Structure 1
Amino acid sequence: MSELNFVQQFLEAAGKGEIDTLKKCLEQGVDINARNKQKRTAILVAAMNDQLDAVEFLVQAGANVDLQDETCFNPFLFGCINGKLELVKMMIKANANVELLTRFGGVGITPASEKGHVEVVRELLTTTDINVNHTNICGWTPLIEAIILNDGGEKQQTIIKLLIEHGANVHMVDKYGVPPIELARSKGFTEIENILLAAGA
């Protein structure tokens, strides 16, 4: 079998969680960090297919957990964006770089805050030193994203409280100079407005 075929087999096995095949391919000398056309590594393919045993196997075998595909996904960021708590925990344990950016220039907590992934946000805030005030290319912090890109509901309120408890700056404005409290008011999110007021906004 050609080297290319081995790589293809390796990546397919990752997506199906076929650990024996992964082992065989590595024994044949396949690069554990080989990528497909989308620049995805086997560990990312496994992560995107919820094959957590394969993810764990590849971590133990020495895969680079930080390599990003052409859309900036790696297992950690994919987990943060999609609310995959177990995957996120595995990546934190594997010392994933929490400063790597999504394609919108956010860190993992940015999309997790926006999308209402409460447990992922809690995990990131309590077990990593991720930058809670990181500003993405839209000029938004995780706090601002949590306010303006969702429905202001209970999950968002919990996330906003968590962000504030862990050092989110309630005065950091968006790129137009609008503070979080004004953004909450303009959306009619009274509960969030009250949380921000209680935090000194």
Structure 2
Amino acid sequence: MIKTNESKIFFDAARTGDLESLKKSLELGTDINMQDKKKRTAILLAAMNKHYDVVKYLADAGADINRQDQTCLNPFLFGCINGDLKLVRLMISAGANLNLVTRFGGVGITPASEKGHIEVVRELLTSTDINVNHTNYCGWTPLIEAIVLNNGDTRQQAIIKLLLENGADTELADQYGVTPIELARRKGYKEIEEILLEAGAE
């Protein structure tokens, strides 16, 4: 069992981006996939603090990039949620599992669509085979999230166009049977309604 102070040194090194201290900890036998009280791994802590060199080092050294903390976060999902394109690309290159879900049951493209992270959405749609029609625990697809959980502005409109161009199903309804176009109408998003109509929604 690793001593408490040794684990603290390891996690602190990941959190602060101290790559040399982190390397020394690993050389001393620290478990690269050790988790703290919140079940966060060193690679997640480094990712959360934008220490990309540490993230890449740990991934190359065999860290489990898919391991999730107590709130279901891992580096890939954290990057998608927070619009960190560099981190998302790092994780895609490292072979991130695209099917793991957030605490709300969405895959990476779900929160990225909801929060207006257009660059991340584009990256996921063009460089991965992530499921554009994945349904989360609320019965919502990324398309529905992009409509109902933001303000309908030009960024959201661009995301919706991207989703539709890459196979988003306009007829996949929410858990109450309400379709995306009806949800857009209820929100008063005329521009989004027009985009959906052009895509064949009824």
Structure 2: distance between partners of 1:103 and 1:23: 32
8 Å CA contact 1:13–1:22 kept in 2: the answer is: yes
Match of 1:108 in 2: 108
Structure 1: distance between partners of 2:55 and 2:17: 8
Gaps of at least 5 residues in structure 1 are: none
Aligned residue type for 1:81: I
Structure 2: distance between partners of 1:46 and 1:145: 28
Match of 2:129 in 1: 129
Match of 2:96 in 1: 96
Q: Does 1:182 align with 2:187?
A: no
**Match of 2:159, SS?**
helix
Q: CA deviation at 1:4?
A: 2.7
Structure 2: distance between partners of 1:161 and 1:45: 34
Q: Could you list the per-position Cα deviations for residues 137-172 of structure 1 after superposition, in whole angstroms to 9, with x for gaps in the alignment?
A: 011000000000000001100100000111000000
Match of 2:64 in 1: 64
Q: Does 1:157 align with 2:157?
A: yes
Structure 2: distance between partners of 1:7 and 1:28: 11
Match of 2:49 in 1: 49
Q: Does 1:32 align with 2:32?
A: yes
Q: CA deviation at 1:79?
A: 0.3
* TM-score (normalizing by structure 2): 0.98
State the aligned residue count: 200
Q: Could you list the per-position Cα deviations for residues 32-62 of structure 1 after superposition, in whole angstroms to 9, with x for gaps in the alignment?
A: 0001000000000000111111111111111
Identity between Structure 1 and Structure 2 (%): 65
Gaps of at least 5 residues in structure 2 are: none
Q: CA deviation at 1:197?
A: 0.2
**Match of 1:146, SS?**
helix
**Cα root mean square deviation, aligned:** 0.7
